[in-house]
Copies of this chain bind each other. A is one copy, B any other.
Amino acid sequence: MNFSSSLLENAVNEFAKLPGIGKKTALRLALHLLKKEDADVDAFTEAITRMKHEVKLCPRCGNLSDNELCVICKDATRKKRVICVVESIRDVIAIESTHQFSGLYHVLGGIISPLDGIGPDQLNIESLIQRVNKEETEELIFALSPNIQGDTTIYYISKKLADTRVKITTIARGIAFGGELEYADELTLARSIANRLPIDNYVNGI
């Protein structure tokens, strides 16, 4: 593209560095901001600058936080002895949006994946082990990706915790609501039959 303004060109190039945004979309976004009021654009850039420079990681669970401890760890009404282990901050947001979980979290920052060069040392696993020992955790709920890497991670951590009395569970895997049986993959369908639930349980579960 041929821009007659290098200022516009710079802004478009910066937008195009974002994931999933090509040159044409970047141009549309830049021209959109050009048309906006100065105050709106300043609010946009300031929100990003403040997020980048002021957001912290919670030292206890690894979640994003505005202050020292994150709002979830600080919340006195939550069950301190149940920890949900997730891969990323995005998973915390997804689970919080269900309003079904009232325990705490632990963000690993990824899952064990030797092919990608990610071993246990790159993840927040050591801090999880220490936390379970210190906080007298009763249950660890693993909500990791349902694949080999996720299962490896669960196996590795449960081995490390073998001499504690913590109960280790994983979120249910099966047919999604609204999913059609005939399009489900064989592994999922097989697991959902093997892990079938008594109908009472099922109804209570909702």
Interface-central residue, A5, A90, A97, by most chain B CB under 10 Å: A5
In-complex Cβ contact of A4 among B5, B6, B72 (8 A): B72
For residue A178, give the distance in angstroms from its CB to the closest CB of chain B.
Answer: 18
Chain B residues whose C-beta falls within 8 Å of the C-beta of A33 in the assembled complex: 18, 48, 51-52
A93 to B90 CA separation, bound complex (whole angstroms): 38
B4 to A70, Cβ gap below 8 A?
yes
Most B CB contacts (10 A, CB to CB) among A2, A13, A15, A90 go to A2
Sorting the interface of chain A by its residue count into under 10, 10 to 19, 20 to 34 or 35 or more gives 35 or more
A160 to B86, CA, bound (A): 68
Chain A 3-15 near chain B by CB (<8 Å), digits 1 or 0: 1111110110111
In the bound complex, do residue A47 and residue B2 qualify as a contact, i.e. CB atoms below 8 Å apart?
A: no
Whether B55 and A8, one on each chain, are in contact in the complex, defined by CB atoms closer than 8 angstroms, is: yes
Binds B, one of A61-69, A115-123, A143-151, A161-169: A61-69
- Give residues in A with beta carbon < 8 Å to B: 1-8, 10-11, 13-15, 17-21, 25, 27-34, 36, 38, 40-45, 47-55, 58, 63-66, 70-72, 89-90, 92-93, 96-97, 99
